[in-house]
Amino acid sequence: MNMLSSINDLLSHITEVEQNVIEMSKESMLMISKFFEKNSIELDDNAIKGLQYQDIISQQLSATIEAIESVQKSINIFENAQNSDEQIASDSIEKLHKKLAKTLQTAKDRKDSFSGKLKNENASDEIEFF
């Protein structure tokens, strides 16, 4: 299914972007923390709360990544099952085609054998009708 593959690709892209945002957030927190430490700046409650928000954002993005990965796993399972089902159906159709072709050939052979003497006018053995 092309649509599910496209959705899966889009989810992979979103996951990658979210992972990049998490990494940038961590780096940002480290830079800010080093700046405060280097300049001996004490943080007030609002500054501490702001830094905590960075961690909360990263946790929320991690949670959405987990949800996306779960959806992707389900998509992959569905696609694998569908591919397997399509292969089974294709194999079954091929078997049916072969059986029908064989049945048709048998029917044609029987038709020819039952009417063979009638078609051959030059045959030495003629069928006698009573």
Helix (H, G, I), strand (E, B) or coil at 122: coil
Burial class (CB in 10 A: 0-12, 13-18, 19+), 111: exposed
Predicted confidence (pLDDT) at residue 130 exceeds the cutoff of 60: no
Banded model confidence at residue 122, pLDDT cuts 50, 70, 90: low
Taking residues 88-93, what's their average pLDDT? 89
Burial class (CB in 10 A: 0-12, 13-18, 19+), 54: middle
Q: What is the pLDDT of residue 11?
A: 96
Predicted confidence (pLDDT) at residue 117 exceeds the cutoff of 60: no
What is this structure's pTM?
Answer: 0.65
Q: What is the pLDDT of residue 73?
A: 95
Q: What is the pLDDT of residue 28?
A: 93
Q: What is the pLDDT of residue 127?
A: 56
Q: What is the pLDDT of residue 57?
A: 94
Taking residues 12-28, what's their average pLDDT? 96
Taking residues 90-116, what's their average pLDDT? 86
